[in-house]
Structure 1
């Protein structure tokens, strides 16, 4: 174990910054030493709320303050500028998903961090669910056989106010996409983590509920073909009322099937189906006493333990001089898939990802 205390700076003091701050403050060997936001009052208020010693209004200031790591919690299209500045300053980076809204941008971020010799991790905290770890382990040890079929179903609820209260939400320029880019990307990442390299997609998008408030999609369906030959389907919406949660299912050549459900949104993904050798184990999927349409603050709060697990892995990776479990390269797979769906929806043709 290293005796070093890693100083972490938080860039962007919006809603998700709470997860990063509380996660770091729970990890031995790390501390939040500074926060930064273009809104100086928001930065000062966040620092005061969490007992953080310094607050800044510019990325250059926080990078010069002596931080070892920055957590990038800014709007999607700004990630590249912040990450490139951090790399140039020799500061390690944990970036919120999506890594970027364009693949070229993501690659520039990866290349800059590689050249600077700093680590780049991207937040996909749902990989740290015990159920997701179990599913991955059974793939690796061969219990499921070769994965052949996958399914990702995301049926979430958002009020119109979710988009209208924040001007940049729901725009192509500032959000980069809708349900695929902002919500379903987590489960697409799980699908790629389990099934491997995606090579082709075909998809459709629409906006059924929020079309008067957003430019982007609130609903999408797609098929994905993987390098191994495995096939998967994606269905995603923020127009579900009530929300039915998010589900990732995997089937292998040995006839075994595993299904994880996150319901309500933000809670632990639970293994609700495990079938093998003509036996099926199930757990209740939608208990009657749970409120389905959780608000964003509740969703984010419930995910803090998994932010903590991922950030702890990032700190361990630095201490052990190894890559984190989720790298910038890992994060491009889900981005590649969803950008392919957008292209396919526009051209009405399958899109090659290689």
Structure 2
């Protein structure tokens, strides 16, 4: 790494890799120099499409090519091995969410990067929404006492069947909690602080015949501050009503952001001051789009760009890393506790050191 530039490689050429490529290429101090995929033809096509010099089928070749950082865009179960491999090679890491579906694995990843002196960051680009940052600023002055997350998204069967790993406990690690709601749980925790206890239930109502994991979940959360929150989550909504995060502060201020249609920049529906800040209804009459996954991802490129700019600047020593490894594990730990609460039928205290691991929920979650 020169004093003023960074050489970056991309691991994995799936749908989300486009966002990472464009985000890194948008930074004036970055050169994206290589990409790797187990399918060399896909790697070569991706390299040609995004003007990347080298394509590889072996991660070790990429890591030994003189790069300074990688971004990991592969399926969940591969993340730990790749992060450990990158840390051993002396390479900084940006990783797509979740860092892992296994909390203990995330701790090994964090430790390996710390020991190697490498930065590790997890992708939670929604924190860079202006609406999210306005709520964060508000609750920094007046703490939130109540919160609510609603995720009412629509997924067709093809979403789960197009990629063989989707919808299984072993490969996907979970359903709506692990893959969609993790972003909004991350925002809620960013606004409200440390979770100390959860109680939750999961089920699969619409997709039970075709997936192992949940398509719906509910939970209550208790925070170290004494604050409380609820979650109401599904990928079975038709039409999709997007996702919202709501908090109420100790002064009674009400703040709500809404991402609708899915993938759009969240709007601040209420701003805590009693002002009417929306001139249109949250859901305009007759407009209920079910947006395809590529379109959803494309609309997030600008916010991937903001988070990746922070990561690059942190590697270059120009600013603090805002979503480091420990910060990127908080939503995961919370949602794993919800799975454990469902399995046991009991509330789960996050202070209990023994539970955080892969949670294999039995088939009885399907009714």
Equivalent positions of 1:90-109 (< 5 A) are 90-109=90-109
2:157 is matched with 160
1:56 is matched with 56
1:328 is matched with 325
1:346 counterpart (317, 320, 343): 343
Work out the CA distance in 2 between the residues paired with 1:282 and 1:347.
43
With 237-246 and 316-325 compared, the bigger mean Cα shift is at 316-325
Between Structure 1 and Structure 2, how many residues are aligned? 349
Runs (4+) of structure 1 exceeding 6 A deviation are: none
- Offset from partner CA, 1:263-295 (integer Å, 9 cap, x none): 01111011011233x655445312347552100
- Offset from partner CA, 1:234-268 (integer Å, 9 cap, x none): 11110000000000001101110100000011110
Asked whether 1:275 is paired with 2:272, we answer yes
1:83 is matched with 83
Work out the CA distance in 2 between the residues paired with 1:36 and 1:107.
25
Work out the CA distance in 2 between the residues paired with 1:290 and 1:78.
39
**Does the 8 A contact of 2:3 with 2:316 survive in 1?**
no
SS of the residue 2:135 aligns to: helix
Asked whether 1:262 is paired with 2:222, we answer no
TM-score, normalised to structure 2, is: 0.93
- State the 1:154 CA deviation: 0.4
SS of the residue 1:34 aligns to: strand
- State the 1:133 CA deviation: 0.7
Equivalent positions of 1:1-354 (< 5 A) are 4-140=4-140, 142=141, 145-276=142-273, 281-283=277-279, 284-288=281-285, 290-320=287-317, 323-354=320-351
- State the 1:32 CA deviation: 1.2
SS of the residue 2:169 aligns to: coil
- State the 1:46 CA deviation: 0.4
Work out the CA distance in 2 between the residues paired with 1:233 and 1:139.
18
Work out the CA distance in 1 between the residues paired with 2:325 and 2:24.
20
Unaligned runs of 5+ in 2: 352-367
Work out the CA distance in 2 between the residues paired with 1:344 and 1:163.
25
- State the 1:146 CA deviation: 2.2
**Does the 8 A contact of 1:24 with 1:311 survive in 2?**
yes
Q: Indicate the RMSD between aligned Cα atoms, in angstroms.
A: 1.3
Work out the CA distance in 2 between the residues paired with 1:95 and 1:89.
16
SS of the residue 1:174 aligns to: helix
- State the 1:322 CA deviation: 5.1
